[in-house]
Structure 1
Amino acid sequence: MSTEAAYFEEMYRSSADPWHLAERWYEQRKYAQTVAALPERRYRSGFEPGCSVGQLTLLLAERCDALLSCDRTASAVATATAATADLPHVTVARMAVPSAWPQGTFDLIVLSELLYYFDRAERVTLLDRSVASLEPGGTLVTVHWNHPVAEHHGTGHVVAAELAERSGLTLLADHREKDFTLQVHLRDRPGGRAAETPAEREGLTPGTGR
């Protein structure tokens, strides 16, 4: 069974920012590394489910022409909406993935501190929908805490292992620290062709001088 909605509602009743995402250097550093790992200078359309209070949302907004962020908890949505009020290209919605899912496609999907709240079956569904919504060559980012937590159904290591078993994605970056695992995957192009890396798009190949 996935983590119950009541857990999140209780967390946000006790604090507007229960995980102190706006205050902790750990979070600020992790968010900066997440954005720095994005292989594209600019994205047409991004999707960030589980946005919480919108701290990562603000950074992603700088790289997206349009960004849809969502959370299942009303108070988190209200806080994230207020934080992005002066960014007309950002939409914050109340949505409980994976049972609800936006229409359309995206060239960037960011799953940050999200997947371990779902049991294995729902993680599979969420990843299926993410990959299906990701345009060929699009970027899928996952970043998760590596330590066991009672309310979590896995860790960053578990998420990375499950993604390694999935077809249709090519691993571009794999950054692992004691505390979290950050990975960037690209969706393969038609015919199973791996998406080009930033270096390949600029004509840099193995053996090319700098």
Structure 2
Amino acid sequence: MNDSTPASYFTGMYADAPDPWRLADRWYEHRKYTLTLASLPRRRYRRAFEPGCSVGVLTRMLAGRCEEVVAADRVATAVEEAAARTADLPHVRVRRMAVPEEWPEGSFDLVVLSELLYYFDDERLDRLLANTVRSLEPGGTLVTVHWDHEVPEHRLTGSQLTPVLEARAGLVPGPGFRDPDFVLGTFTRPFADGSLPPTPAEAEGLV
């Protein structure tokens, strides 16, 4: 498959079930989300962007580490579910948005691309990553997590996405985690002088 996955695929999935990937009740998903949060080098973030948020399970977990979370999905029913799940969190905003054609204003010190990038053709993937780098603040964190098995609707696996991400100008690869079923990566946008933020141990004066 060379084209982006059509929008009808996602609307069809949510038409059949409110949480078609069972993100809220699968141990696999809970473990993956816990590892995602554990990979973040900072204890707190100012402003995070999570496109492709689905029903907002990870969104709610990110809210505990962020002063503000902007979450988005292209499917209206997913947006409704995510908004309901985070309704008691005033610092979370859930919007209907189709990336990369649409993108929120402002900058972020955290961008989360979880189970998203393999749906895009080369041109749209390039635009999405360009938007990510442009909106990520110097010193900010990008975390990516992707299923590592072949799926008809996925153009790439997590392993196939890794070299694309590592070669992206404006991002410095950091620690990651390779699971038998998914690949997690962290990346940092360097400061203007090419330096990087301190590691968690450096930030607490341990080294």
Identify the TM-score tier after normalising by the shorter chain. over 0.9
Q: How does 1:137-156 map to 2 (within 5 A)?
A: 137-156=139-158
Deviates more, 1:163-172 or 1:178-187: 163-172
SS in 2 for 1:11: helix
- Segments of structure 2 that go 5 or more residues without pairing to the other structure are none
Provide the rounded CA distance (Å) in 2 between the counterparts of 1:158 and 1:121. 16
Tell whether the 8 Å contact from 2:39 to 2:176 is kept in structure 1 after alignment: no
Provide the rounded CA distance (Å) in 2 between the counterparts of 1:53 and 1:175. 24
Q: Which amino acid aligns with 1:120?
A: D
Provide the rounded CA distance (Å) in 1 between the counterparts of 2:132 and 2:49. 9
Q: Which amino acid aligns with 1:172?
A: G
Provide the rounded CA distance (Å) in 1 between the counterparts of 2:154 and 2:194. 33
Match of 1:35 among 34, 37, 46: 37
Provide the rounded CA distance (Å) in 1 between the counterparts of 2:198 and 2:99. 30
Partner residue in 2 for 1:158:
160
SS in 2 for 1:151: coil
Q: Which amino acid aligns with 1:131?
A: V
Partner residue in 2 for 1:79:
81
SS in 1 for 2:89: coil
Q: How does 1:14-93 map to 2 (within 5 A)?
A: 14-93=16-95
SS in 1 for 2:105: coil
Q: Structure 1 residue 167: deviation in Å?
A: 2.5
Paired residue total: 205
Match of 1:118 among 117, 120, 126: 120
Q: How does 1:168-179 map to 2 (within 5 A)?
A: 168-179=170-181
RMSD: 1.0
Q: Structure 1 residue 190: deviation in Å?
A: 0.4
Provide the rounded CA distance (Å) in 2 between the counterparts of 1:150 and 1:167. 29
Q: What TM-score results when the alignment is normalised by the length of structure 1?
A: 0.95
Tell whether the 8 Å contact from 1:170 to 1:185 is kept in structure 2 after alignment: yes
Tell whether the 8 Å contact from 1:171 to 1:183 is kept in structure 2 after alignment: yes
Q: Structure 1 residue 155: deviation in Å?
A: 1.0
Provide the rounded CA distance (Å) in 1 between the counterparts of 2:170 and 2:132. 12
Q: Is 1:183 equivalent to 2:185 in the alignment?
A: yes
- Segments of structure 1 that go 5 or more residues without pairing to the other structure are 206-210
Tell whether the 8 Å contact from 1:137 to 1:196 is kept in structure 2 after alignment: no
Deviates more, 1:165-174 or 1:82-91: 165-174
SS in 1 for 2:193: helix
Q: What TM-score results when the alignment is normalised by the length of structure 2?
A: 0.96
Q: Which amino acid aligns with 1:54?
A: G
Provide the rounded CA distance (Å) in 1 between the counterparts of 2:119 and 2:86. 25
Q: Structure 1 residue 78: deviation in Å?
A: 0.4
Tell whether the 8 Å contact from 1:106 to 1:134 is kept in structure 2 after alignment: yes
Provide the rounded CA distance (Å) in 2 between the counterparts of 1:14 and 1:106. 34
